[in-house]
Amino acid sequence: MTDHSAYPADRLIQIMARLRGADGCPWDRKQTSSSLKPYVIEEAYEVVEAIDGGEYSKLCEELGDLLLQIAFHCQIASERGEFNFNDVVDAICEKLIRRHPHVFADVEANDAGAVLRNWERIKQKEKEKESGSGGPASILDGVPGYLPALMQATKMQDKASRVGFDWRHAEDAAAKVWEETEEFREALASGQRDRIQDEMGDVLFAVVNVARLLDMDAEETLRRANSRFVNRFRYIERRADDEGVRLEDMTLEEMDAVWDEAKKTGL
């Protein structure tokens, strides 16, 4: 890997400035922070996929693509006189120091739980100072509204747990799933669409809570289930193709039998 300068990030910043310049790339020049939003999300997911794949060369490439998005936003902001890449780096450095007083100051935190509790207290004080209202900020204020719903639920539950609003054991949270499931059954029988949707949401939220208490990521858990569904459904497709039958001509009972067969094979 070649180090092109003492400060490699400078090269990226200079390239972005050139691309956005008068003689630069027409596509890059027309982009705005809003138009780039989908690419930030897409690149972040590709980083996650590279991590799951376990290929560090691929991870290096995808992290570079994500860094490009950061540099892109910084260049746009710099052109508007708002901030630049160095401001972003300085801000995160200061935040890391401020939120790790157990490393950079004299606060004690002997385990990860204490670190997280300190982090939340510091973060909450920062939010109160930013709002200028003088009133307490909600510990849920920092949960991004754009997160996928499962991730958002996990974040909210995790933050609430840091102030003691939590079940002690996963088994206790599981009991809540059975309770919410029964309420969903009653709502389904009522035929009231809004009530059904609300109760279905409560079931999903309760299941996420169980996953969190079992130290399982709900998003990743559902992704694994999605993968199993794909593998088993493709098994049905292959079986239908082998037998010269169209899926549309198979009964649900026939497809379900093949589905069970796929499960027995370990798919």
> Helices 149-161 and 193-213 sit at what angle, rounded to 10 degrees?
60
- Going by the DSSP 8-state scheme, the letter that residue 141 receives in this structure is T
Residue 267 host element (H or E): none
Does any domain span residue 182?
A: no
Residue 62 half-sphere exposure toward CB, CA atoms < 13 A: 20
Taking residues 252-263, report their average pLDDT: 95
CB 206 within 8 A of CB 241: no
Last residue of a domain, one of 62, 80, 98: 98
Which stretches within 132-251 are classed as H helix? 149-161, 170-190, 193-213, 218-242
pLDDT of amino acid 31: 96
Q: How many structural domains compose the chain? A: 3
CB 46 within 8 A of CB 60: no
Taking residues 100-104, report their average pLDDT: 88
- What confidence tens digit (pLDDT) does each residue in 129-173 have? 776 655 667 878 878 888 889 999 999 999 898 888 999 999 999
Could you list the residue range(s) of the whole structural domain that residue 243 is in? 219-264
pLDDT of amino acid 57: 94
Same domain, 74 and 133: no
pLDDT of amino acid 136: 63
Does any domain span residue 130?
A: yes
> Helices 85-98 and 56-79 sit at what angle, rounded to 10 degrees?
110
- What confidence tens digit (pLDDT) does each residue in 161-209 have? 888 899 999 999 999 999 999 999 999 999 999 999 999 999 999 999 9
- What confidence tens digit (pLDDT) does each residue in 3-59 have? 455 677 899 999 999 999 999 999 999 999 999 999 999 999 899 999 989 999 999
Same domain, 85 and 30: yes
> Helices 56-79 and 8-20 sit at what angle, rounded to 10 degrees?
50
151 is written with which tokens?
């991730």
181 is written with which tokens?
């499931």
CB 21 within 8 A of CB 79: no
Query: Cβ contacts of residue 180 below 8 Å, gap of 6+?
Result: 199, 202, 203, 205, 206
Last residue of a domain, one of 98, 128, 163: 98
Q: How confident is the model at residue 123 (pLDDT cuts 50, 70, 90)?
A: confident
State the Cα angle at 111 between 54 and 49, rounded to 5°. Answer: 15
pLDDT of amino acid 1: 43
User: What's the full length of the chain, in residues?
Assistant: 267
Does any domain span residue 22?
A: yes
